[in-house]
């Protein structure tokens, strides 16, 4: 059984974290095409950009999702296409994304 958990989809290769921030809007529209939809998103998500001195270009876009591994893997190619860079899937520590876990819990109770 493929259980939901928190994953990070990391996209490196941005010249800076500011350039990674600029890529957030197209990713948000990919994950939630209708920002005014009723109810929760199918896949709870959050976005951030970080400056990683070990990453190529330093700027890294981090997409956190709470979903099954298979659905997270399905997002790699579209996110890579939107950013023009390869995306990498990593297991994430849920304590790093408490707001995402809480959002999922609240939305699950509402349904």
Q: What is the pLDDT of residue 34?
A: 85
Which residue range forms the structural domain that includes residue 92? 5-110
Separation CA 9–CA 6 (nearest Å): 10
Per-residue pLDDT averaged across 7-27, rounded? Answer: 90
| Cβ within 8 Å of residue 22, ≥6 positions away | none
What b/e readout covers 51-61, taking b as 16+ CB neighbours within 10 angstroms? ebeebeebbbb
- The domain total for the chain is 1
pLDDT tens across 77-94, in order? 999 999 999 999 999 999
Mean of per-residue pLDDT scores for the chain: 88
Flag whether the pTM goes above 0.85: yes
Pairing of strands 5-14, 45-51: unpaired
Separation CA 102–CA 73 (nearest Å): 23
Check which CATH number belongs to the domain holding 102 and give it: 3.30.70
Per-residue pLDDT averaged across 30-58, rounded? Answer: 85
């Amino acid at each position: 059984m493929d259980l939901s958990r928190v994953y990070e989809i990391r996209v490196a290769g941005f010249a800076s974290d500011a350039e990674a921030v600029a890529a957030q809007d197209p990713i948000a529209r990919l994950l939630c095409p209708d920002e005014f939809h009723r109810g929760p998103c199918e896949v709870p998500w959050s976005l951030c950009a970080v400056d990683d001195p070990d990453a190529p270009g330093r700027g890294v876009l981090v997409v956190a999702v709470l979903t099954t591994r298979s659905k997270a893997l399905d997002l790699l190619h579209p996110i890579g296409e939107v950013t023009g860079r390869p995306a990498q899937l990593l297991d994430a520590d849920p304590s790093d994304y408490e707001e995402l876990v809480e959002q999922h819990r609240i939305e699950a109770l509402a349904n």
